[in-house]
Amino acid sequence: MTVKEKREKRKNLKRESIIETASELFSQKSYHEVMMDDVAKLTSIAKGTVYNYFESKEELYYSILKLRLENLTHTLTNKIRSETNPIDALRSFVVHYYMFMMKYRSFFLIYRKESLNSDNGICEELRSLENELRNLLVEIVKTGKAKNLFRTIDEDFAINVILGSIYGAVHRGIDNHINEESIIKEREKTFDFILHGLLSGFDNNKVLPLINKTIVITRTVDQSKESSAVLGELGADVIIFPTLEIVPPASWEQFDGAVTEDTKIDFIIFTSAHSVKMFSKRCTELKTEFNYSKTKIVAVGSKTAIICRKHGLPVHIIPSKFSGEAVVDELSKYDLKGKVILIPRSAIGREVLPQGLRELGAVIKSVPVYNVSLPSGDSINENIKRLNAQSPDLFIFTSPSTFENFLQIMKITDPVKFFKDYLIAAIGPTTKSSIEERRVTVDIMPDEFTIEGLAKAIVDHYK
């Protein structure tokens, strides 16, 4: 860090300190009672220094509101854009709005004091930020109504009730001096209250068959969001708990050797979207191309097939069931004697598929294109807090790794005891077997080994 950068950092820290101190004072006293002398004393800096940062008390007061509102609006906009259904978007709005106001309590008290003052002089820029926040909510409610997830309701009325509920919950939290664990519980109660207000009037069990069910999904971050969208549209409160991080293999030596040597490859089998992405990335780096009129591509699962096509890979075969055994069964229709089959996959992939194909006479090149590791601790702390604060109804595991990593992250030494009061869903037989090896009962497994198939099996189970 350069001297100039260090100086700028110190300046920003001092400015933030002044804003924090002034926020506290303005939240406790009226605008006219707060003096710049008070701000200077509490921040232990000279009054003149305060004026180096803010020309007047009015500018300082305005800056507190503007800075926090900009931060809130920007963060909420990004969070909601990443959601794929209105229920998840509503959850993101309510949870983040509540947590932001509980973090910046002094700002909240100033903001509410201004908002409730009919004669307030908040400038147009602040009003514009307020309107942006309201418009985010309007779009969520509109989308929910259009998808028949929310009942017919006046949007302006709904927005006022939603914001009023959040503000009431924050006031309650501040007045009761609640701790961090209680804050997480309160935000969930607030969201639950708001959601049920938007749902009332429906036969919720038909429209949202998983309403009031809290489901923990364990996959990679990207996969968990996709799965969350499927379950969220059915009314479930989904706790995304990433247990996997996809990283390159320790070495590309095996893969590079397999795809660059002269031996003709007759089949390439992709068992996951991850294998497709990493295969395509490495082939681009190596400038390697296949003649797909002579090399057939097998995609295990419809999602894998979609990713193949996105990367310009033609799909010739999709087995009827999404498992290693089903692939062997499908390819047994071909004369595999002496045929070369490339299987780009995880470094810890099962041997069922390669072994089954070898028994049919194929020459197998099973090479790692990615590895699976634990997510970093910082990225999952919030999910652990949420999991501990709620009482899940169901845990979903989509691979043996998601299950084993969950045990490791949560430091579970006795899985039978931990899961005895919960339902367990496994996406397929391999995952089911791995869980049952730990003597944990698997209650739900779909006929179709996809997240959509699993969602249907969960709905059927609760029926």
- Report pLDDT for 221: 65
Start-to-end CA distance of the chain, whole Å, equals 60
Angle of the 105-115 helix axis to the 155-176 helix axis, nearest 10: 130
**Residue 392, Ramachandran bin (φ over 0: left; ψ between -120 and 50: alpha; else beta):** beta
- Report pLDDT for 33: 76
Whole-prediction pTM value?
A: 0.56
Q: What is the DSSP string of 386-439?
A: HHHHS--SEEEE-SHHHHHHHHHHTT-S-HHHHHTTSEEEESSHHHHHHHHTTT
Give the number of residues written for the chain. Answer: 463
- Is residue 435 within 8 A of residue 183, CB to CB? The reply is no
Q: Which class does domain 247-373 fall in?
A: alpha beta
* Gap between the Cα atoms of 348 and 215, Å rounded: 27
Domain ranges of the chain: 56-202, 214-244+375-462, 247-373
Low-confidence ranges of the chain (pLDDT < 50): 116, 118-121, 203
The CA-CA-CA angle for residues 98, 101, 103, to 5°, reads 110
- Is residue 210 within 8 A of residue 394, CB to CB? The reply is no
Domains 56-202 and 247-373 alike in fold: no
Taking only the tens place, the pLDDT of each residue in 13-58 is: 877 788 778 777 777 777 677 788 877 777 777 777 777 777 777 7
Q: Is beta strand 423-426 parallel, antiparallel or unpaired with respect to 394-397? A: parallel
The fold of 214-244+375-462 is Rossmann fold (3.40.50)
Angle of the 3-28 helix axis to the 57-81 helix axis, nearest 10: 100
- Report pLDDT for 120: 47
Task: Kindly give, in sequence order, each residue whose CB lies less than 8 Å from that of residue 361, ignoring residues fewer than 6 positions away.
Answer: 336, 337, 338, 339
The fold of 56-202 is Tetracycline Repressor; domain 2 (1.10.357)
Task: Please name every residue paired with 146 in a beta bridge, in sequence order, or none if there are none.
Answer: none
- Report pLDDT for 299: 92
